[in-house]
Every structure is written in structure tokens, then in C-alpha cells.
Structure 1
Amino acid sequence: MTPPALLLVGHGTRDEAGARAFRDFVAQLGAAHPELPVGGGFIELSPPPLADTVAAMAGAGARTFAAVPLMLVSAGHAKGDIPAALAREKQRHPGTSFAYGRPLGPHPGLLAVLERRVDEALAGADRAGATVLLVGRGSTDPDANAEVAKAARLLWEGRGYAGVETAFVSLAEPSVPAGLDRCLRLGARTVVVLPYFLFSGVLPDRVREQAAVWAAGLGAGVDVRCADVIGPEPELARLVMERYREAVAGDVRMNCDACVYRVAMPGFEDRVGLPQQPHHHPDDPSHTHGGHTHGGQGHTHAHSH
């Protein structure tokens, strides 16, 4: 019996190198697991669109899918857009079913990769004299931003850095320059700017550009070094398979304690109980959006509040 297909879902990027890195990772994962169908698609910006990938896999005989969002935090795309897209694909392909896995999160395997990236940037310099600035994408969802702060704290624990601070490249504060200002005020003389991204793209490039501008101006006397993104490391492949097995087994442990659609968070009280309205993606011909549940686990954001 053929196991459920592994469907990797990416956000998409206007950077062709970043999109190619995603596609290459999907291909590598498929080659490493010939026992199951593996495919990947984007919800916007990059080919292949998720709809095309599902159509191809369904055409090849796949009927059950375990979808894993290739995303580090659970923000709007993971909470709204992807579940809505999967619901549309189920309607388009009668007889198919989709289990939805959880985002990657600050898993110990990925923290180990981040630690390597910092060491690469330090090039033998002492960790004790280095402050790390972990830079996330940034979101209007406070829960997603808090996950970046959690990753920063976990990265700090036990690794001997002078400190680990957080910043965001879009939609949230502190910005990259503001984060570097804070590092300077805390007495940092060496700062490793660490992009919290899986693959290269427009936003990781922006992180490096903003760090370089700051270093050339306000950062006189501070040794600012930029680390690489996580990349297609073995730890990432193992984590994706872990999330796949969770989804297949129905063991998707979503953390809803700080979800703005369930809990009245300060400044976001108006979101409690709101129906999800994922924005239309130009790569998908459907305009139908609705509420969603997390992986069939009874966490409905839309109409049950």
C-alpha cells in the first residue's frame, strides 16, 4: 500500500535562487525517500503553484496527502492561507484527503544549524565576546513574532554567547537597525546578524543590506558579521519527515494558547472569533476562501467562537 504523499508547501519568493533552493530541497527529499510520493509547491510568487503540484500528484494516483508547511513560524500563511488552499484542492480533486502538519518551529535540530551558522560567521572568534541578532521575517501576528523571540532565547541557552537579541525585517519591531542599536547600547563589540530564514531570498538579502548600512554609519567600532540562512541541511530534512509522520499519525500538537483568533491579546482584541479571509493568490484561479481548522484537530478559527 502506497503511504500518504508528502506535500511541502512554501510561501514563495521573487528571488529565483530562493525558489530554486526550495525546489532542489523537495527533489532531494524525494530521492532520499523513494518509498513515498513527494512534491512541493508555493502559495504565491514562485512556480510551481501548489494547485499544479497537487494536480500532478493526484494525476499520478495520490489520494491521501500529508501537507507540511515549510515555514519556521505559524503566522497568517500557515494559519489561514495554506489550510484554505488545501480545502480548495480537496474540492477540485474528489476522493482526496489532506492531513495538515505543523510549522517547523524552533526545533533543536534547527537550533544546531543556527549555532553552526554563527560559528561560521565568527570564524574562530570567541563566542563569549559575540552578541547574536536573530532576525525574523516579521508578522502582524504577535504569536508568530513571539516564536522568533522563543527561538532566540533557546539559541542563547548553554551556548556561551554574550547575548542573543531579536529583530524583524518587516511588519514588526524592532527593525534590523533598531536591533543593532540595542546591541550597541548593551555594549556589544561583535555582532553576528543571523537571518532566521530557511533559504535565500529578497528578505534575507534585505537583512544583510540593512546591517551593512548600519555598520557603515552608526556602527563605527562594532564588528558586524552576517551569517548565512539555514539552508537544505540534514537536520531540516529530518525535521520535515518528523512533521510528516506527525501529520500521518494525527499527532499534530498545535499550540493555541496565544492565538489571536482564540485569545484576546492586547491590541488585537478585534480578531477573536473572526472568520479567516486568506487573500487571493494570483497563481491560483479560485477566489473562494473560508475558515479553517488545524490538521483536523478541532482548532477552528472561523465560526465556532
Structure 2
Amino acid sequence: MRGTGAMKALMLCGHGSRDQGAMIEFGGLAEKLRTRLPDWSVEHGYLEFAKPVIRDGLDKLKASGAETVLALPGMLFAAGHAKNDIPSVLNTYAAANGLRIEYGRELGVDLKMIRAAGERIKECLRADGWQDGEPLHDTMLVVVGRGASDPDANSNVAKVMRMLWEGLGFGWGETVYSGVTFPLVEPGLEHASRLGYSRIVVFPYFLFTGVLVRRIYDQTDIVAAAHPEIRFLKAPYLGAHDLVVETFVDRLGEILEGTNNMNCQMCKYREQVLGFEAEVGLAQESHHHHVEGVGSSADCTLCDTVCTGACRTAAAAASGAGHAHGHDHAHDHKTAADHGHGHGHDHSHADSHGHHHHAAHDRAHGHGHGHSHGHGGADHHHHPYPHADHPLGPRSMRKD
């Protein structure tokens, strides 16, 4: 088998969450992959706010004898995390440990993923009395994406929404986002409520539970209370649906076949994307090394199994006392939709952003994101989002 050496080793790379339920679900996905791939050693790890971190999983695979590791981002779409953060972590580890790492692409816009999403939406409709085959012309679909400062990732959510809208025959469809971009959930649903549909299905296009999914449902309840004439239905998120698992298996196969080409045509780091021209060629680097495993459910004593955001309250109090470390890493403002972007050179390694992502260890070359990383004071900032003053976003959802 190409590129795996004597041992077949797969590293599943997640974003991480302070929410224990989200981590249990991600671990369940890894377990499903172990069952689906009995000949492979499968480990998983996270960028931040959860343990094990990605390095821990790589350590286990290396200690077990792996010479080459195939790594997949456990993310829906390609934006900053999969384009910058994960490749940076992999490249750094590979260079320091003499391990070859080949990097695959995100789940992306995929027919299996759309089928899985369609099944989740149908589950919701059936619970409301709908039967397969009944027209949905009186029902509107609202798909909620994670939200990113990368327009390519945001546009992919809109494409998924259109495929679901047209595939299931909804009367109308709209796309909203949980943070970073616009429109956000509450104003988006307020707009949707004016269109005259008697039933609105709200579907979080998320892999797993967590703070953001609960806020999406909470804000749905807020808008529903203001519009009792409309029946709002809350569809379940994707979870480790069997078709999601199969899509990960497909991504693994793409690495082995050498066909894991990613979309460079719309990548803001490679091309002059309207409104994001200043970001062409920015350096690839991880922005999460200082919070790897920090504040995870394994360490946090402020919440039980469900993250309540108590750590943010504590951080705000510390800030008022002059002890803040400078940023709230709840990351409501970040996307779980990232992936490699290159800048006009060889695409043979993960950090080249070239979207073939072989041999992640070749070298980290950077395309500078204008981030300052003086983490003594955690001076951590991102390239400014060009529509930060948009009236329907891009602030993260209200936390109350």
C-alpha cells in the first residue's frame, strides 16, 4: 500500500472543544473508523481545548512503529484550521521526529455528506408528522454553517444548502452562520420568518454537539417565540453518521491513490478573491499551539459534561483585575472548516497548501497571516475580516 510503510497509521485531527459531549462524539467517530478500518492503527487528537492533542496521537503511532502517518482533518470545510493550523502542527512534528506525514483534504461538498444531511433533516420532518414523498412546498429550510473568514468555506455551506433545498424540494432555502461572517442565526431567522412559510426547518451543518449547536437551537427558540404562527423544527446535526464515516474513508483512499487534490481556484491565499486581496501569500502557521489541551473537559472544574462558558466569565473577571491573558479562546469566532492552501509552488507536502498534501514533513514555509504571537501576553490576532461592521454579523452569537 503506497506511502504507509510497514504499518498502516491514520491520524484524525480535530479542532477540540471544552464541551465533554463534543469530545465523546469525536472519539466515537475515531472508534467507528477503527472498526471500519481493522487493518489500520487509528489515533485522534485536537488543536486546542481538549486532550489528547495531535502530538499525543502522533507519539502513539510512532511508538507503535509507524514510519508514515496519513492524517485527515476532522472538519467539514477548508478554512484556517485545515489550511494553516493542522498542517503547521504536522510539519513541526514531522521535522522534529523524522516521521513522514501525508495530509488529506477536508470532507467538503460531497454527495455522501449531503445524503447524510438529508437523512438528518428527514428525521426531523418525520418527527413532525411528515411522510416520505409528501411535498415540502410550505416548508422552508435554513442551513446553519460554522462561519469563517474564508469566503470559499462560507460559499460551500451555501452550496450544500442549495443541494439539500433542491434535492428535498423545500419551498425555499437560506444559509446562515454561527459566527465570524453574516448573516448570523437570529437575524437570519428573523428574515426567514417574513417569507410566509408555515414551517421552518433549522439544520446545523455541524459534525458534533457543543456550545455553538446549543446556541443555534436556543436562538431558534427565541425567534420561534416571537413568531408563534410559524412552526420551527430543530434538525439534528450530522454526528458520526455512517455516510460521514464513509466520506472519511474516501478521503483516506484519495491520499493512497494520490488524488487528494484540493480547491486552489477559490483559495484567498492563492488567488485574488474579491474583497480579500490583501491575504494572498500570507504565511502558514498555527495559531493554537499556546492553547493545546488548555481548558479541556479533562481539566476544567467549572462545568460538568456540558460547557456553560463559565471559563469566559472567569477570564473576564481576571481581565477586570488586570490578569487577563489577552484572548478568550472559546473560539466561537473560528471555523471548523479548514484546509491546505498553497502559494504558487510545489504541492507535494501538507504545508505547501498545494492541496495534494503529501509528505507533510518537507518544510514549513509560511504565508504569514499577519498574526503577532508574543504569547507572554497572548498577543494573538488575525488578519482583519473585511466585513467586520456588517449589520447582520460577523460577531459570534450572543452568549446569554
TM-score between the two structures when normalised by the length of structure 1? 0.91
Q: 1:1-305 alignment to 2 at 5 Å?
A: 2-94=6-98, 96-123=99-126, 124-125=129-130, 126=134, 127-217=136-226, 219-284=227-292, 292-294=351-353, 297=356, 302=366
Once residues 149 and 241 of structure 1 are traced to their aligned partners in structure 2, the CA distance between those partners, rounded to angstroms, is 25
Q: Supply the AA of the counterpart residue of 1:47.
A: K
CA offset digits 1:16-49 (Å, max 9, x no partner): 0011111121122112322111111111111110
Once residues 87 and 228 of structure 1 are traced to their aligned partners in structure 2, the CA distance between those partners, rounded to angstroms, is 36
Q: Is the 8 A contact 1:75 1:139 kept in 2?
A: yes
Structure possessing the higher relative contact order (Cα contacts under 8 Å, 6 or more residues apart): 2
Once residues 34 and 291 of structure 2 are traced to their aligned partners in structure 1, the CA distance between those partners, rounded to angstroms, is 24
- Offset at residue 182 of structure 1 (A): 2.5
CA RMSD of aligned residues (A): 2.2
Q: Supply the AA of the counterpart residue of 1:279.
A: H
Identity of aligned residues (%): 37
SS in 1 for 2:141: strand
SS in 2 for 1:232: coil
Once residues 17 and 110 of structure 1 are traced to their aligned partners in structure 2, the CA distance between those partners, rounded to angstroms, is 22
SS in 2 for 1:256: coil
Q: Which runs of 5+ in 1 are unaligned?
A: 286-290
Q: Is the 8 A contact 2:7 2:67 kept in 1?
A: no
Q: Is the 8 A contact 1:30 1:38 kept in 2?
A: yes
- Offset at residue 177 of structure 1 (A): 1.4
Q: Name the one with the larger helix percent.
A: 1
Q: Is the 8 A contact 2:104 2:252 kept in 1?
A: yes
Distance 1:249-1:214 versus aligned 2 partners, 3 A rule: same
- Offset at residue 296 of structure 1 (A): 6.8
Once residues 6 and 198 of structure 2 are traced to their aligned partners in structure 1, the CA distance between those partners, rounded to angstroms, is 56
Distance 1:298-1:60 versus aligned 2 partners, 3 A rule: closer
Which stretch of the first structure deviates more once superposed, 144-153 or 126-135? 126-135
- Offset at residue 130 of structure 1 (A): 1.4
- For 1:288, the equivalent position in structure 2 comes to none
- Offset at residue 160 of structure 1 (A): 1.3
- Offset at residue 220 of structure 1 (A): 2.9
Q: Is the 8 A contact 1:12 1:44 kept in 2?
A: yes
Q: How many residues align?
A: 297
Q: Which runs of 5+ in 2 are unaligned?
A: 294-341, 343-350, 359-363, 369-400
Once residues 229 and 166 of structure 1 are traced to their aligned partners in structure 2, the CA distance between those partners, rounded to angstroms, is 15
Once residues 25 and 115 of structure 2 are traced to their aligned partners in structure 1, the CA distance between those partners, rounded to angstroms, is 20
Q: Is the 8 A contact 1:99 1:296 kept in 2?
A: no
Once residues 283 and 89 of structure 1 are traced to their aligned partners in structure 2, the CA distance between those partners, rounded to angstroms, is 17
Distance 1:167-1:19 versus aligned 2 partners, 3 A rule: same
